[in-house]
Amino acid sequence: MHCLFLGIAKWITKRIWIDEDVLTEKALQSIQKKMSEFKLPSDLGQIPGKIHCGEGFSNFTADQWRNFFLIYATVVLWNHLPNKDRKILMYFIRVCTILVRRIVEINNMKEAHELLVKIIKSIKKHYGEGKITLNLHLSLHLCECSYDYGPLYSFWYFSFERMNGVLGSLRNSHCQIEPELIRRLMTETQINNIISSNSEVIGIELLNKRPSVSSLSEFPTNEMYQFLMNSRNILKSPITGCEEFLGIFLAPRSKDIRLDKQIYDLLIEYYKDTYVDSIFRKPFTENLPNSTIVINKAN
């Protein structure tokens, strides 16, 4: 799946359509304007970022490439592509639709393979052999891999890519991130071993002799130990603490403040617009059935 989106999708869009001036800067701006009109559910995942910045489609993740081709591409790209590229687009979208499914039928896998062959032949015909990359070649083995291991959804690298993002977000010296992460993992493993052995804190001070690892060692060992102990025995370990009193109380408050007439009227209008099935009124006005009186006071 990583090959499909970060390999093929990115290559077709950036190294064929943009580099060959099929998608110009003006076209990218038009595409961006059209994409901004889409209203998508919040649980969809990562939505594509700004495509008209830089050289276009910069820093897209595999998730973003997937969402772009499955949701946006047909609508936003169609008017900017010639017929030969429209075929490539439609073939590739159909391939993506098939391969991202959790359950894929054998006949659909055969269809996806045939469409990938058509895509590669079309690219070779219209843009030359130099545009045929290793990723395009590897795509011809996707169906074979699915026959051996099941749908791509079951063994794709999206989770691995997300973990890379998590590791990359950890504070480090930006010099030797690999050994720094390994030392951090080893330290946490040592602490876990000491805790799981039911021993006392004796021995934990040995970890204090470890060499400092840039900003990854910002937490003292005793604090790490206490945190792990509390997290494992949250029902048994009392957690206490205190902070220095700042010497400042909350500002005085008043009760039963009478609302200004304008605010009072707006409050009633708000209730009417929010609860359309209910009736709201001021005190001492017409007594309507099942009506609710709004008091012009607030605490």
- Tens digit of pLDDT for each residue in 48-71? 777 766 667 777 877 788 888 888
Bigger pLDDT: 22 or 56?
22
Task: Indicate the SS3 state at residue 281.
Answer: strand
Stretch 169-176: mean pLDDT: 74
How many CA atoms, within 13 angstroms, populate the side-chain half-sphere of residue 207?
24
Q: Give pLDDT tens digits for 99-155.
A: 888 888 888 999 999 999 999 999 999 999 888 888 888 888 888 888 888 887 777
pLDDT > 70? residue 209: no
CA 205 vs CA 7, 176, 193, 220, 228: distances in Å: 49, 26, 14, 10, 16
- Name the band, by pLDDT with cuts 50, 70 and 90, for residue 1: low
Sign for the CA dihedral angle at 176, 177, 178, 182 comes to positive
Task: Give the long-range contacts of residues 179-185, CB within 8 A, separation 24 or more.
Answer: 180/213, 180/214, 180/216, 181/216, 183/210, 183/211, 183/213, 183/216, 184/213, 184/216
217 confidence band (pLDDT: 50, 70, 90) = very low
pTM of the prediction? 0.52
In the predicted model, is pLDDT for residue 91 greater than 90? Answer: yes
Residue with more model confidence, 195 or 113: 113
Task: Say if residue 211 is exposed, middle or buried (CB neighbours under 10 Å; 0-12, 13-18, 19+).
Answer: exposed
Q: How does residue 288 score in pLDDT terms, banded at 50, 70 and 90?
A: confident
Average pLDDT (18-37) is 89
Instruction: Kindly report the average pLDDT of the chain as a whole number.
Output: 78
| pLDDT of residue 210 exceeding 60 | no
pLDDT for 250: 67
